[in-house]
Amino acid sequence: MWVFGGLLIFLAIKKEMEPTLLLPLGFGAIMVNLPMSGAVAQMVNGALEEGPLSTLYNAGIANELFPLILFIGIGAMIDFGPILSNPKLMVFGAAAQFGIFFTLCVASMFFPQNDAASIAIIGAADGPTSIVVAQKLKSQYIGAIMVAAYSYMALVPIIQPPVIKLLTTKKERLIRMPYHPAQISKTTRILFPIIITIITGIVAPSSVSLVGFLMFGNLIRECGVLDSLSETAQKVLANLVTIFLGITIASQMQAEQFLKPETLLILGLGLFAFIFDTAGGVIFAKILNLFLKEKINPMIGAAGISAFPMSGRIVHTLGRKEDPENFLLMHSIGVNVSGQIASVIAGGLILNFFM
């Protein structure tokens, strides 16, 4: 576990892979695996002494508080302008959740139903949603699920490009998509998070807390009268909660809990879900191209996962490598934003099915 923690720290510092997540996670893994570590709960002279990381876990993760607060910050960061300019992009966010439900079927062969559902949601590439779903379904593998979800979020630049290239031809990757920005009124921007929360709450009531906190953050951004709160949510709040979240998750990475065959299987299934989510978005775009006169660059379908804004940037970068004058950023970010919403709704549907 010390080696594993060191690897996460290396990836955070040397490779700059989501350092705000992996650095606290890696350092925390080392802390909790020191002999008789005072960072976590332990028996001392027959009495249980609760360490600070265990206290933080009970106060912020066991009750889903940290993930939901983080959603406020994420919502404040998101600009729904690209997707409001082209609402058709929302279908790619839905298509890219295919891997979740496919992995659920596979994981059900190895794990009880609630654990399988919790593992499948790793494919959403959305750490907070994974935590909330695993907690509500009382999965016994929550530590491995949380680590897998956040690790794969950080590894998006490594995992997605090979999958995208495998499923697309060079001709498809060269497709250009003109961007025609529409003027989105302030009223529309304000109504959008409110309407999405209401509709989602009716379709999947269990997702109201997830979607509601995300959309509340966006409403703070768009209302125009809470600029200071919006800036605080995007920077100070999001960064602070991310630090606490990362180091607190490490409390579940004690060797006796983590080093099990089931953990390796969960990591493998999480990767499986992630790959098939990416593939689902790309393949859906290729199918649509069979019927469209104005072709879509199928790479943007891969941005339908929830890893915002990393996945959108990766698609744009791949497009620029094939053609330096091909700008896919606004399209891919629009799909990426839709994926953020779709992954939360998918989490709510999983909860509706299995709670």
> 3-state class of 43 per DSSP?
strand
CA atoms of 72 and 66, how far apart (whole Å): 10
Give me the pLDDT at residue 13, please.
Answer: 92
CA atoms of 192 and 146, how far apart (whole Å): 30
> 3-state class of 48 per DSSP?
strand
Terminal Cα-to-Cα distance of the chain (whole angstroms): 33
CA atoms of 296 and 291, how far apart (whole Å): 11
**What single-letter amino acid sits at 189?**
R
Consecutive 10-residue averages of pLDDT for the chain (355 residues) = 91 84 90 89 73 89 88 90 83 85 90 91 81 87 82 81 93 87 88 92 82 93 92 93 88 84 89 89 92 90 84 90 88 88 85 82
CA atoms of 341 and 92, how far apart (whole Å): 11
Give me the pLDDT at residue 221, please.
Answer: 94
Q: Which of 281, 98, 129 is nearest to 200 (CA)?
A: 129
DSSP H or E run through 262: helix 261-289
pTM comes to 0.85
CA-to-CA separations, 79 to 110, 125, 134, 184, 223, in angstroms, rounded:
40, 19, 28, 11, 12
Give me the pLDDT at residue 270, please.
Answer: 87
C-alpha atoms less than 13 angstroms from C-alpha of 136 in its C-beta half-sphere: 24
CA atoms of 193 and 159, how far apart (whole Å): 31
**254 conformational bin, left if phi > 0, alpha if psi -120 to 50, beta if neither:** beta
Give me the pLDDT at residue 43, please.
Answer: 67
CA atoms of 303 and 88, how far apart (whole Å): 14
